[in-house]
Amino acid sequence: MASEDRLAEAFLGEPRRYTSHQVAEMAGVPVYRARRYWRALGFANVADDAVEFTESDVIALKTMLTLVEDGVYDEEHVLLMARSLGRATARLAESQAELGAEALDHAGVPIKQRPAAWRKRAMRVVPDLERLMTYAWRRNLAVSAGRLADQDTHAVRLAVGFADLVGFTRLSRQLTETELAGLVERFESRSADVVTLYGGRVVKTLGDSVLFVADKAHDVAEVGLRLVESHRRVKNMPQLRVGLAIGPVILRMGDVFGTTVNLASRLTALANPGTILAGPMLAEELADDTSFQVIPVNRLTVRGLGELVPSAIQRS
């Protein structure tokens, strides 16, 4: 068996023994339909005669088909779920592989010995990581389901925050790749800690920016201020600017969309370094909150949204 085959099977935990046509036949569907699910999970089509699939691949396909057949979801929703799962696990797997490679680098393992070292590492860590991933997913699902149980997902009202590092593009040209990676890691990890600690939820990070939401105006304002204050204390970290808004949002596969999100993003671009700008509705909700000063600024033209009077948010 080739070295790459042994490595793949160490991570898969079982041998590859089926072609795509055999998997489709065992699941009782045409191969084109099986491949549609396969691609939704983020995997490329393989040659008809390629022996790439395991018993788990057969079970996974049957599971998705059963969800449709039992009426739990329609096929389009199963495909959406598969795409979401594929994106999330691909990013997770990539980060874990990078950490594994770094560990082997630091241990001084020669390149020729890496495949054997990877196989040994897979046998040691994959079962533990699998249990941790299931645990974290169940915990997060419980929180998300509890939050959405009594809401119409087509009209969810949320407070939205968008924060980005000022001058990041210019700074990135002055740093080595290692220095840039370290800066992004510090920004993302500190931002995630702050958002979670003060009642928000990270929707996504984009290297030099973070999109977050909260259920209440107070919480999103507190998170915004804490982000600015926290990153200000980090050596060589560019200043942060934040835009906040509140209103209806569209929830889709873990992301948020709509005018409220667009407003938060546009206000971020208009905010001065180290400051927070809030939309009129959010400012109105914070007007009687003694934790903050809400200071109207000059009327601004916000691209795609017209003229409005935002407010700067400061601590009282």
- pLDDT tens-digit readout, 44-88: 999 999 999 999 999 999 999 999 999 999 999 999 899 989 988
- pLDDT tens-digit readout, 115-149: 888 888 888 888 999 999 999 999 988 988 887 77
- pLDDT tens-digit readout, 189-202: 999 999 999 999 99
- Report the pLDDT value the prediction gives residue 153, as an integer from 0 to 100: 62
Determine whether 20 is exposed, middle or buried from the number of CB atoms within 10 Å of its CB (0-12, 13-18, 19+): buried
Domains of the chain: 3-148 (no CATH), 156-315 (3.30.70.1230)
- Report the pLDDT value the prediction gives residue 170, as an integer from 0 to 100: 83
Q: Is the pLDDT assigned to residue 302 strictly greater than 60?
A: yes
Contact predicate 35/146, CB 8 Å: no
- Report the pLDDT value the prediction gives residue 3, as an integer from 0 to 100: 64
Predicted TM-score of the model (pTM):
0.73
C-alpha–C-alpha distance, residues 257 and 253, integer Å: 11
Determine whether 41 is exposed, middle or buried from the number of CB atoms within 10 Å of its CB (0-12, 13-18, 19+): buried
- pLDDT tens-digit readout, 3-20: 677 888 888 989 999 999
